[in-house]
Structure 1
Amino acid sequence: MSPAGDVGRAKGMDETVAEFIKRTLLKIPMSEMMTILKAWDFLSENQLQTVNFRNRKESLAQDLVLLCEENCISLDDAALLDIIYTQFHRHQKVWDVFQMTKEPGEDTDLSDMEQFKSSFKKILQRALKNVTVTFRDAEENAVWIRIAWGTQYRKPNQYKPIYAVYYSQTPYAFISSSRLRSNIPLLGQALTVASKHHRIMKMDLRSQYLDSLKTIVFKQYNQTFETHNSTASLQEGRLGLDINVDPRIIHENKVEKDRVQRVTQEIFGDYAQPRLEFAQYKLETKFKSDLNSGILAEREEPLRCLVEFSSPHLLEALKSLAPAGIADAPLSPLLTCIPSKGMNYFKIKDK
C-alpha cells in the first residue's frame, strides 16, 4: 500500500492533467472536434460513439475527460492533443525562422529523427529540471516540438508552451514567438546540437503563415514562367471603350498594358505568391541637400524612420499594383526581393 501522502499527490497530478485536457478541448471548434480527436487517436472509435457530440461544449468536454481518465491519460498524451490543435491553427501564432550552419568544409552528418529527438530532449532536461518536451512527426520529414517551460523550483506551465518545427537534414527551424524569450537561447542550443550544427541565428523573416515561410526558405514556389496570354483580358477591356476614341490611344494603352504585364510576370511569375502579412523597413540616412546649411544638414545623427507595408496577402497585393495602375512597373527591388532574399525585415543605411 502506498502512503496516504503519495496517493494525494498522484490524485492531484491526475486532476492537473484532467484540467489541462479540458481546457484544450474547450479551445477546439465544434466543427473540428471529431477530426482532431481522430488525428489524436487516443480514444477508440467505440469510445467516441458513446459521446453525444450535440451536447453543449462544456458537457461534451467533461464527457471526453472522463473517457481520457478511463484510458489512464498521461501528460504527454495531453500535450500531444495540444500539438494537434496547434497544427490545425498554426496561423494563429507568429513564427520566426532560424537558420543553422556548420563549420566551413564540414560534411553533412545524416542523423535520423529518433536520434535527434533523444538528443534534443536530453539537452533540455539536463539544463533545466522542470521542462516538458513532446514530439509529433509530420509530413516531409518534419517534427513538431512542444516545450512547456518551468524553472528549477516550478513545474512547467502547460498553458504557455513554445512550439518549434524542425525539418530533418535541413538547417532550418521555425519557432513560435513567445514572451518567454529567456529560454530561446537554450532552445536554440538544443536544436543546434541535436541536429549536429555549430551555430544558429534568427533570420529577418517572420509571419503567421508557417507554410509560406517554409515555401520561401526551401525555394518551393514555382519559378517556371509560363507564357501569359493577355489577349482575352485586353479584349474584355475594349468592350467598354467609346467607338469614337482615337485608335492611336487604344494602341498606346495596349502596348503599355502588355509591357506592365510582361514585367510583372518576369518579376513575380504566374504562380501563387507565398503568403506574408507585412514587410518592415528601418531607414537610417543622413540628410542630403545641395544647400549646405540648415539644422538638418548640420545634424550628425542619421534620420531614422520605420516604414511598414501590410496586407492580408502582401506579395499578391504588390504583384497587383502595377497592373492596376497604382504603381509604375517595375516595382522597387526592395519590395520584390522578399521571397528571393528570405526576408521581410530590412535595414537600409547609407553606403
Structure 2
Amino acid sequence: MDENVAEFLRRTILKIPMCEIKTILKAWNFVSEDQLQTINFRQKKDFIAQAVIMMCEEKCASLDDMALLDIVYTQAHPQQKIWTAFQMSKEPDEDVDLFDMEQFQSFFKKILQRALKNVTVSFNIDGKSAVWIRIAWGTQYSQPKQYKPTFVVYYPQTPYAFISTIHVKSNVPLLLQALKGASRYHHIAQMDLKSRHLDSLKAIVFKEYNQTFESHNSPEPLQEGSLGLDMTLDPNIIHENREEKERVQAVTQETFGTYPQPQLESAQYELKTKFKSDINEGILADRKEPLRCLVKFSSPNLLEALKSLAPAGIADAPLSPLLTCIPNKKRNYFKIRDK
C-alpha cells in the first residue's frame, strides 16, 4: 500500500471520536467483521490506526478506499462542515428524467476530469437515499489535495443539492457544471441558505420541518397557577396578565408551530437604503450614496431562540416577518433595498 494512502488512513482514524471508531470502520465495510474483532479498541488511536493499516495493506487498499472512509466519517459528522443549499431547474416544458445512478456517476466524473486533469471523485449512498460525493481538487500541475476536499449531498429526483466549502473559488463553476450536467438540469443557482446542520437545511428546502422535527404535541393551555403570579394581587391584573400570556402563546404557536424548529446558527440582513426624513437638512439628508448596514443574529439554534423571545417578554408578538419568514423563504441571508 502506498505510504500516502497509509498516512491518509492514519489521519482519518485519528480524527474519529474514540467511541465511534469501531462503528465507522464497520460502516466502511472494507475491513471484515472478523478482523475488527481482533483489534483492541481501548488502546490509543495510534495503535488502532496501525492495526487497521496493516489489515488494509493485506488487501492492497487504494486511495479510493480511503476516500470512502472519509465520506462515511463525514456522513456521521456533517456538522463539521458549513453547507450551502443549491437549487437546479429545467426549462418550463421539460419533464424530470428518471435517475440512473451509474450514469450520474459516470457523467459527473467525466465532466470534472475533462475540465481538470488532477481531481479525484468518490461516491457513496447514505440511508436516506442521498448521493454523497467527495471531490479532492488539484490543478493541471499538482496532485489533488486529499485533506481539503469538497462534499456534495444530492437528493436524486429533486432539484436540490448541498455543497460544503470550496476552498478554490475557480473550481465552483466546474463543480456546478458537473452537478447540473450529470443530473440533467439546465440551470443551477446558490440559495441564500447556509448551516452546519444538514438535516435542518433538507427539512427547510423540502418543507418537512413540521413533520421531520415534530416530537411533541401542542403545549397544554396555560393554567392559572403556572403564570408565576402572586394570587393576592388584584384579580383584574391577574386576568389581564393571563389574557396577554395566552395571546402571546397563540401568536407564537401560529407563527412557529408546535414542533421544534430546524436548527440554523445565524441569519444575516444586509441593508442598503437612502436616508429618509421629513426634515430636508443635515449631512445625511444631502448624502447621495446609500447607507449600508449589516445585521447578523447568531445562536446555536436561532429559530428556537426567536420563538422564545415573545413568551419570555423580550419582544412583542408577533415578531417582524423578516425574522419569522426564514423557513418559508428558504433563506437566512437577506438583502434589503429601496423599492
CA contact (8 A) 2:130 2:155 kept: yes
1:152 & 1:243 partners in 2: Cα distance? 77
Alignment partner of 2:246 out of 246, 255, 258: 258
- Counterpart for residue 8 of structure 1: none
Instruction: Answer yes or no: is 1:191 the counterpart of 2:179.
Output: yes
2:330 & 2:188 partners in 1: Cα distance? 16
* Regions of 4+ moved over 2 Å: 223-229, 240-244
List per-residue Cα deviations over 1:65-124 (Å, max 9, x = no partner): 111111110111110000111111110110011111111221111222222111111111
- Counterpart for residue 204 of structure 1: 192
Runs of 5+ consecutive residues of structure 2 not aligned to the other structure: none
Alignment partner of 2:96 out of 108, 122, 140: 108
CA contact (8 A) 2:272 2:291 kept: yes
Runs of 5+ consecutive residues of structure 1 not aligned to the other structure: 1-10
- Counterpart for residue 145 of structure 2: 157
What is the deviation of 1:174? 0.2
| Paired AA for residue 220 in structure 2 | N
Instruction: Answer yes or no: is 1:229 the counterpart of 2:227.
Output: no
1:171 & 1:304 partners in 2: Cα distance? 34
Instruction: Answer yes or no: is 1:48 the counterpart of 2:44.
Output: no
1:137 & 1:193 partners in 2: Cα distance? 19
Instruction: Answer yes or no: is 1:119 the counterpart of 2:107.
Output: yes
Q: 1:22–1:256: structure 2 CA closer, same or farther, 3 Å change rule?
A: same
CA contact (8 A) 1:226 1:269 kept: no
Alignment partner of 1:267 out of 255, 276, 287: 255
- Counterpart for residue 24 of structure 2: 36
- Counterpart for residue 178 of structure 1: 166
In the superposition, the TM-score normalised over structure 2's length comes to: 0.96
| Paired AA for residue 128 in structure 2 | E
- Counterpart for residue 146 of structure 1: 134
CA contact (8 A) 2:200 2:209 kept: no
Taking only the aligned residue pairs, the percentage that are identical comes to 68
List per-residue Cα deviations over 1:213-268 (Å, max 9, x = no partner): 00000000117997543234x4322xx43332000000000111111111111110
Instruction: Answer yes or no: is 1:293 the counterpart of 2:281.
Output: yes
Q: Secondary structure at the match of 2:51?
A: helix
List per-residue Cα deviations over 1:26-68 (Å, max 9, x = no partner): 1111111001000001111221122222222112211111111
Q: Secondary structure at the match of 1:231?
A: coil
- Counterpart for residue 57 of structure 2: 69
| Paired AA for residue 226 in structure 2 | E
2:18 & 2:218 partners in 1: Cα distance? 45
Alignment partner of 1:249 out of 237, 240, 260: 237
1:227 & 1:72 partners in 2: Cα distance? 56
What is the deviation of 1:198? 0.4
| Paired AA for residue 20 in structure 1 | F
| Paired AA for residue 12 in structure 2 | T
- Counterpart for residue 336 of structure 1: 324
Q: What's the C-alpha RMSD, in Å, of the aligned pairs?
A: 1.5
- Counterpart for residue 8 of structure 2: 20
In the superposition, the TM-score normalised over structure 1's length comes to: 0.93
Alignment partner of 2:85 out of 97, 100, 107: 97
Alignment: residue pair count? 336
Alignment partner of 1:79 out of 62, 67, 70: 67
List per-residue Cα deviations over 1:176-232 (Å, max 9, x = no partner): 013222111100000001110001110100011111000000000117997543234
| Paired AA for residue 219 in structure 1 | K
